[in-house]
Amino acid sequence: MPALEGSQEALVERIPVTYEFSIPEGQRPERVDVWLARMLPHASRTKVQRAIEAGAVTVNGSVPKPSYKVRPGDHIVCTLFRLPPIELVPEPLPLEILYEDDALLVINKPAGMPTHPGIGHRRGTVVNAVLYHLGVRQPIQVQTDVEDELEDEGAIFASDAVRPGIVHRLDKDTSGLLLITKDSALHAVLAEQFAQRRIQREYWGIVWGHMPERHGIIDAPIGRSPRNRKAFAVVPSGKPARTEYWVLEEYPIASLVRFRLHTGRTHQIRVHCAWLGHPLLGDPLYGGDSPRGATTDPRWRQCARRCLELLPRQALHARTLGFFHPITRQWREFEAPLPADMAGVLEELRATARATGLQHRESGQPDAPPAEVSPPVARYE
């Protein structure tokens, strides 16, 4: 089977569909890639060209060049890969439920568990677990028209058949608090709170090095990375993104930082920290999977290696979540302690600090600056 597009992971998820055409009399000469892009549903010219390069298009039994001109009597066979039917399967997976009523759930998601199905993980997600928890036992078929090179995960949840509703998402390897609704109307109410920035979300993360200020704001637009289609970056054409932070603990090699989101862009904290030159410890996508910063003390270099061994994922945890209940209108706020892997990294940093005689400030909520004092802003120019 030819490798047509994307990664090997994408091929596993996709199914081949073969089209055959016989060119009729009267067909004017036209490039085969242009002709196929016009004849095939949801197929771009680029997608057709990649299929030709992979040997998945033949004209009269031979693989043509994209510039080949079709003519009457030609027999064309083209194979493209498409998304298989999407099916949400209830699964009896453990959930740490911090709150539940007839309207919603608040869970503490573990690192490594995707929020919802996508390429490479159709099972084992929060959605699969919540469906089972709510008594659903039969798979739910989801219709989607997505035909792009990479699956648009948001399109999976465009169907009204999908319940419960994911109000917001966490990256697979980010742990912490997640809000889920049981009713589509309430989903819209909570989504509006997110849009109006009335929901409070705070994260704790461990970054390499030292942030520019003890308390600051990162104001820099985020969009798709021009270098890596799976990543995001600070780019002029990006959407506005604003992250406030407070440094809780600081060590020669790393810092524990509290983040508050003022916008909700994909990978926002991870991108902003990497842009400042202080990626989250353990984050392989944004340069945090190797030690940053220089230290002459071998004990701190050893500490950095041990921290990466303890935490083979980005050191980010959604610790606080606050919102107005969509039915009672009362403010509800939840907090989830750091998971064992991040707590282990902090203890490693603290132990090395004690061994080297370093004084450090204990963890805790820092005092906010006076209201009339604005925090320094790391702004995109």
Longest dimension (CA), the chain: 87
279, 257, 262: which is closest to 270 by C-alpha?
Answer: 279
Percentage helix, strand, coil, to 5, in the chain?
A: 20, 30, 50
Is 219 one of the annotated active-site residues of the chain?
no
* Helix axes 340-355 and 298-310, enclosed angle (nearest 10): 170
CB-based contact 262:242 (threshold 8 Å): yes
**CA pair distance 236, 127, nearest whole angstrom:** 35
Q: Which residues contact 178 (CB under 8 A, 6 or more apart)?
A: 106, 107, 108, 109, 115, 126, 166, 168, 169, 170, 318, 321
Instruction: Out of 171, 173, 283, 341, pick the active-site residue.
Output: 171
Cα dihedral sign, 69-70-76-82: positive
Beta pairing partners, 208: 254
Active site residues: 171
